Amino acid sequence: MRFTRRGLIPLAAGLTALGLSLSGCANKPVIPQPGEYGVVVGGGSSSNQNVHYIVNPGVHIKVSNGDRVIYVVAGVRNFKEVKPGQAGDDDSPTPAYTAGDSKQGIKPIQVVSYEHVSFMLNPDHAIIKQFYNELCTKYGCGALNPDTSNNSNTLQLSSPPGWLAMVHENFKIAVSNAVRDAVAQEGPDLWHNTAVWSKLGDKVAEALPKELRLATGSGTLNYFCGPQSTATKCAPFTVLIDDVVPVDNAIAQQYSQQNEADLQKSIAQNRQDVAKKLYGDQWGYWNGVFQAIQLCKQNGVQCNLNIGNANTIPTSK
């Protein structure tokens, strides 16, 4: 069979006749899940590669077939500093120094604190655009396909590897700096004075926006906000202090030994007070007898105690 030029059908017309469409003429769905934004970016050949607009979580629309969509996490996320061997974002927090106590002659103590930071990507679309262009592309923090592994809000617990790398690098620097300044305002008893941990967390949360702007190079924009943020309100971060421990383990051991000594002293004083009420002037005698019996029990031995005869045993009337 021979084909002549006259008999050929233009490609575009042929596709149209078959019910097909050229790239750039059809629409394709954008289906971000509850825990994702859809960042609509130009495809290149038929349009520029700039960010065109942002699709909110759970909103299903269609975009030009010449565009592409990058899915970026939305909703509340966490950055958690943990002890070695535990699951978290950072298992090697940077140590910081407390203030000293000149009155008691106690020098500053170096401690490591473990924080749990709750945050979210700033919902302001203009800021998301700059975040994508300036930071997200550096780490490849988005995904090419929506996460449709299930239809529940547990999707908010998952994050692409690029996002996790971005959070680890930038939040580690920012949190370390914020913690350093906050810990320096607390006394050397910080590591066991749990009553001030809530206040410490508030100080870290207050300092985080500035430290994150410096770490990410965002200028005056806050790429990240706290939970409950909206497109018009960047809420404060939530920072919980899980633990604070001294770097020098000897400090903790000494404190524990002193606590044990104080406890034994208190027990002995209470025992003495009770014995005086029960036995009057003979409290020391009977207290010694009962202590001897207790020692025998503790050592698992049978003791025979000779405490005198009926005429010499002190009695109370």
Q: Per residue of the chain (317 residues), what is the pLDDT tens digit?
A: 333 333 333 434 433 333 333 344 457 787 788 889 999 998 755 556 789 999 999 898 888 878 889 999 999 999 999 998 888 888 899 999 999 877 777 788 899 999 999 999 999 999 999 999 999 999 999 998 887 765 444 444 468 899 999 999 999 999 999 999 999 999 888 988 999 999 999 999 999 999 999 999 999 999 999 999 999 999 999 999 999 998 888 775 664 554 444 445 555 556 666 666 666 766 667 667 767 777 777 777 777 766 665 566 555 54
* Per-residue pLDDT, 286: 65
Please state the φ and ψ torsions of residue 41, each to the nearest 5 degrees: -125, 145
* Per-residue pLDDT, 96: 94
Three-class secondary structure assignment of the chain:
CCCCHHHCCCHHHHHHHCCCCCCCCCEEEECCCCCEEEEEEECCCCCCCCEEEEECCCCCEEEECCEEEEEEECCCEEEEECCCCCCCCECCCCCEECCCECCCCECCCEEEEEEEEEEEECCCHHHHHHHHHHHHHHHCCCECCCCCCCCCHHHHHCCCHHHHHHHHHHHHHHHHHHHHHHHCCCCCCCCCCHHHHHHHHHHHHHHHHHHHHHHHCCCCCCCEECCCCECCECCCCEEEEEEEEECCHHHHHHHHHHHHHHHHHHHHHHHHHHHHHHHHHHHHHHHHHHHHHHHHHHHCCCCCCCCCCCCCCCCCC
Amino acid at position 290, single letter: F
Sheet of 67-73, strands arranged across = 51-55, 36-42, 67-73
Q: Let me know how long the chain is.
A: 317
* Per-residue pLDDT, 98: 92
* Per-residue pLDDT, 3: 37
- Whose structure tokens read 């019910």? 19
* Per-residue pLDDT, 22: 37
Cβ pair 66, 42 in contact under 8 A: yes
Cβ pair 77, 155 in contact under 8 A: no
Cβ pair 13, 49 in contact under 8 A: no
